[in-house]
Amino acid sequence: MNKKAYGEYVKARMPKSPLLKDCAFAFLVGGLICSLAESLLHLYLYWKIPEETAKTLVPVTLVFVSALLTGLGVFDDIAKFAGAGTLVPITGFANAVAAPAIENKSEGLIMGVGAKMFTIAGPVIVYGTLCSVVYGVIYWIVGLF
Amino acid sequence: MEFLLHLIKAFVVGGLFCVLAQILIDKTMLTPARILVLYVSAGVLLTAVGLYKPLVDFAGCGATTPLTGFGYSLAEGVRKAVDEKGLIGALTGGFTGASGGIAAAITFGYLFALLFRSHPKK
């Protein structure tokens, strides 16, 4: 058996990539979360909440719901089929904070809950902050000329 | 009618951000943590070069809800602070823009860690 035939043999034996199905669910759930966010924004504005406050309140609401669903153990059930659909919106960030906090409660409130909260959120904040500081410095330098 | 259009734009743009991440996860084996770091950094970068603001104007929460939007609020916060206070704004502006999401995640994460027990993995 030559290399090419072997490659084809392996390909035929590999489990079918569920890429299309994964993407469909990610699109559907991610899209739903974002349009839910948009609806919340319209609702808050309809309640005469000032725009800046409303724009902060939307992610805060999503974070609250995600943390609650994580606590109830429901978030994982949704994330299992939604994949990136629940990961990429701020719901994924909230879950990344709440899940290790709950899971490591037995290690205590300081090194368990307090420290493990940032297992995934930490790198996100670190790299986000670093990038924004670099941008700020460049923006300041460009503004000098 | 306009409301419905806003919803559709948010749905499509937000959904596409998720599809891109799903492809990255399936094809490159990037871990979720790496995806989140990549997205927040990309959000800052795209805002810096002026591409993200138009997307936010177009898609609203479809652009601000994905984690790239978190990078957008960091970068926007920094830009505003540098405009107002000069170089020190590069350090102080980021968290001004993103503080709501971070403080909420910490507060509610902590609260529910106190209230709930961990669920055994199914």
pTM given for the model: 0.90
- What six digits make up the tokens of B36? 């989140």
Cross-chain residue pair B22–A83, CB shorter than 8 Å: yes
Does residue A9 fall inside a structural domain?
Answer: no
Tell whether A5 is covered by a domain.
no
pLDDT tops 70 at residue A112: yes
Q: Which domain holds residue A41?
A: 19-144
Question: Chain A within 8 Å of B89 (Cβ-Cβ)?
Answer: yes
Query: In this predicted model, what pLDDT tens digit does every residue of A54-71 receive, in sequence order?
Result: 999 999 999 999 999 999
Q: Please count the structural domains in chain A.
A: 1
Render B13-82 in DSSP notation, one character per residue. Answer: HHHHHHHHHHHHHHHH---HHHHHHHHHHHHHHHHHTT-HHHHHHHHTHHHHSBHHHHHHHHHHHHHHHH
Q: Establish if A13 belongs to a structural domain.
A: no
How confident is the model over A75-81, as a mean pLDDT?
A: 94
Average pLDDT over residues A27-48: 97
Q: Would you call A89 helix, strand, or coil by DSSP?
A: strand
Residue A10 lies in a domain: no
pLDDT at A1 over 90: no
* Neighboring chain A residues of B41 at a CB cutoff of 8 Å: 127-128, 131
The residues in A 106-145 lying below 8 A from B, measured between CB atoms, are 113, 117, 119-121, 123-125, 127-129, 131-133, 135-140, 143
In a domain? residue A2: no
Tell me if A4 is assigned to some domain. Answer: no
**Residue A12 forms part of a structural domain:** no
Task: Convert the pLDDT of each residue in B47-69 to its tens digit.
Answer: 999 999 999 999 999 999 999 99
Residue A101 lies in a domain: yes
